[in-house]
A and B are shown apart, each in its own frame.
Chain A
Amino acid sequence: MAWYNDRGKASESVLCTKVQLRRNLGAYPFPVSLEAASANEILQKLSPPLEALGFRKINFSDISAIMATSYVEKHYASPAFASVGGPHVLLLQEKPDIAVTLCGEDHLRICCILPGLDPKEAFAHASEIERVLDGENELAFDPDLGYLTQSPADLGTGLSVSVMLFLPALAESLCIGSLASHLGKLGLSLRGGFGEGVSTSCGLFELSNRVTLGKDENEILSLVEEVTLQILEREEEARRAIRKEPLDRLTDRIRRSEAILKSALLLSSEEFLRLFADVRLGIALGIVRGITYEQLSTLLVEGMPATLTLSADTTPRSEHARDALRAKRVQALLHEA
């Protein structure tokens, strides 16, 4: 079971928590200056201990573009990783979901994704994997700059903590802009959309730390967690305000969205995202019953173009065929329950 098939703490507003450790080996140039032979050496050093732990190895140089995109859609790899030219590998473990990418933007990136809000638990899982690799390999490190990374923006702890938030009420109240600039002062960033590459925000936001140097791991994890809880409080306030108003207009919109989701023959990804946001809010407001957050998360990921295409018995040849397939998948999953 992957992160998107499950629920966790504060699932009504948090889809998942992603914690990533960025590391490099001191003995090799960073990926930007790395030759294929050296990249292969690194892969041979770092892959076997993880495979011994039960990680599945996916050689990105050997897989199709659509398969690579599907891993990006599931948040196991970044778009930049998928487009690397030289040898690069993804090692994957499920429950808890840990994705280790080798020779992408850094030699080693260990990413743990958990459903709901749980930065400390995700960090503990990622750290366990780091411990396995740290003993045998000399990691690039400087006492003042911390872990040395290809991007100077990641220096220090090399730790990235991000939470995927669902804030439809705040998004509608138009105060997201001022919230984002306030968060900037705290060393955090808030971006709209479900990961990179998805343009429509539909109430989805990603909150992550920008500061990696000068704060230790615990401070960064606590900062993200505490600020998330504060944002959730404000979202809850905004939802309470919505509830006070006459609900018929909103209820009507949500019920229409639910009905379309359950019976449309064609669903484009943009339309799906819009309906997804309405129905998810509907569950929180008690308007929609019989649909769960984890079902919606599953649909969000499995309805993405590449993942959807891969899951079909016969590859949909046109956008029209893909929209039909998406609608079929959505209904199959919702009627299962």
Chain B
Amino acid sequence: MNFAVVDWVILFLYLAFSVFIGIRAKRYVEDMEAYFVAGRRVRVALGSATLIATEIGIVTFMYLGEIGYLTGFSCFILGIIGAVAFFIIGKTGFIVSRLRKLKVITIPEFYELRYGKGVRLLGAVILFMGGVLNMGVFLKFDGLFLGEVMGFGVSKSVLFVIMTVMLIIVISYTVLGGMFSVVITDFMQFVVLSFGMFITTFFILKNVSLFDVANAVLNYYGEEGINPVLNPRFGWEFLLWMLIASVTTSGLWQPVTSKSLSSKDEIVGRKIFTYTGLTLAGRYMMPMFWGVCALSVFGPGVNSQIAMPKLIAQVVPTGFLGLLVAGMLAASMSTYSAYLLAWSSVATRDIIQLLFKKELGERSSINMTRVVAVLIGLYLLFFGLFYEIPTTAFQYIAVTGAMYTSGAFGCVAGGLYWKRANSTGAYVALIAGAIGPLAFLVLSLFKDFIPKSLYFLLDVNLSGFLSFILASIGMVVGSILTGGINPPKEVNFEK
């Protein structure tokens, strides 16, 4: 085992402190707006810290490290694309400003305002499915990372124990304190995870020379390791898909958007995106670089999912490992808490409440959200243990995200900026956006039985890219063809 007593002490103190602070935040929860969007009182620096912390977890380190190990420097382009997307949103307020003005809590609420209840229900079901499938692999990757770095190994029983302990800790405070707990613990976790990233980068740079890293990329991957367009895992379709997905996901992904909806006003909401954009290239490239360093140290023959944590276990000395694992756990817990709250609030407010056709009171709504968060936690545990993903973790997360974001982009962007967008267009966009990614996920389970003529459906990049195009065409064609018999609803954004 790599962990010494001092590492355990640091880790235990940190976890205990996190839970204590998170549960204490419960006293600020007075009403529904306080629970779901922290009373809409979040300012720029705090909002940026919580958004950065939400979007960094062990799973992010793992999939970015894996893609760095498999593709060399060429994956660094994804960091630049991500940063550009956040800048575009920050500068223009695209989507987030208007949603904030409407004071909605979840995106499906906007569907009802603009299109009607049916669209809200369908949109919420697709959002919930894409969201929990997307989150389904988080716990497993966390278990792989911690098992490898702490030296326990990565057997199923070890994964089960690590995953269960993490879930219990996060659920306990998210369920009780809602967005207040998420914001307060995210801030603390942001500080600890930044420190953990600094330690890791320092020890890796101390042990691996930049010259060796560059040589390893050129020796093993040649030009493909430098030029993303030539790399067979990427190519121009993937890069274009990522650019579109980054701009749309940034404004539409409920855990991210909820940070802007919690902000003091729409200008603060935009600034949160700009400041986060400044850090985005670094937060992508650092773990990618750790993965590239693992390639330089171990060569290309190691299991790509555990090459990066294996390197960390080798170069970070005892004593610092406790701090590092605390930092990484901080990163993950902040992601889980925000995602659990986001998906459970969508399930409660936009699915359960609509199906039962009666307004839940504020207390019942909060309690129902708590129950759903626990159920999602149980699903994560079993899905993570038994499901094998059909592609790299990065691409799996991108394609499950696209299941929702591609349709949502048509509905939300159309609804906010195009007067002729109507409910028929919204239904077509939501269904067309979900079909490609869903086909990829289902067919991947039966790939031995698929005729060769349908192999193109197993191309993850193509299915993700096509989903955006189909959803946008669906919104435009559906609205234009039925505009006469199904006139669009109007929403006043300036009130």
Q: Do A and B come from one complex?
A: no
- Chain A interface (Cβ < 8 Å from any Cβ of B): none
